Amino acid sequence: MYVQSSVSGAAKILVVGPMGVGKTTLIGTVSEIKPLSTEATMTQAGARLDTAVRPSKITTTVALDFGRITLGGELVLYLFGTPGQQRFLPAWKDLARGALGALALVDTRDLEASFDAIGHLEDLDVPFSVAVNAFPDSVLHSEDDLRSALDLLPHTPLVICDAREHKSSVQALISLVSHLIETITEAS
């Protein structure tokens, strides 16, 4: 079983991070339904705004990604992937309404790009965990170095995952759910 057997119900979970970090991939990897994706081809106008994008990236999420996964047979997570660009922040804030928590994906090749997403979660007081998406050409860093670079509080979960691998991505979500259970238990 993935999570405590006493946990059942449904929860809205955000998957956040900068553009190109793997949000759409993670949701597609774990979703037990055909995921909804609002990927659109990047335009020349968008390319001028999204200067940090790798040349190989030709599409981007323009509204949201949506998927669903059931953990432990009784806990349904509704996953909402947010657009990664700053100009979509108003939509991002709307998606955050009613979310129980968030999984913040980061890329060690550009940690600075993750600061905005993590800052928005803190501003909105949305509990979160951080998953470092292990890209093939990513440099491995120690947990202490990552925590320091991302300025994470000691209680914020930090895991390594590969958004392309089901088991790895599910483990990242389980880490978040366990953190949320602890947070709720401590508050009561």
User: Which residues pair with residue 159 across a beta bridge?
Assistant: 131
User: What is residue 140's predicted lDDT score, i.e. its pLDDT?
Assistant: 86
Q: Which of 104, 86, 88 is nearest to 14 (CA)?
A: 104
Tens digits of per-residue pLDDT, 47-95? Answer: 444 455 555 545 555 558 999 999 988 999 999 999 876 666 677 778 8
Q: What is the C-alpha to C-alpha distance for residues 76 and 141, in angstroms, rounded to an integer?
A: 33
By percentage, how much of the chain surpasses pLDDT 90? 62
Q: Per-domain residue ranges for the chain?
A: 9-187
By percentage, how much of the chain surpasses pLDDT 70? 79
Mean pLDDT, the chain, whole residue set: 85
Q: Which residue has the higher pLDDT, 110 or 49?
A: 110
Tens digits of per-residue pLDDT, 135-175? Answer: 988 888 999 999 999 999 999 999 999 999 999 999 999 99
User: Is the model's pLDDT at 3 over the cut of 60?
Assistant: no
Which DSSP letter does residue 125 get? T
For 31-165, where are the alpha helices, taking DSSP H only?
Answer: 44-49, 89-96, 115-123, 143-150
CATH superfamily, region 9-187:
P-loop containing nucleotide triphosphate hydrolases (3.40.50.300)
Q: What is the pTM of this model?
A: 0.84
* Residue 57 CA neighbour count, 13 Å, CB half: 17
The pLDDT of 172-187, averaged and rounded, is 93
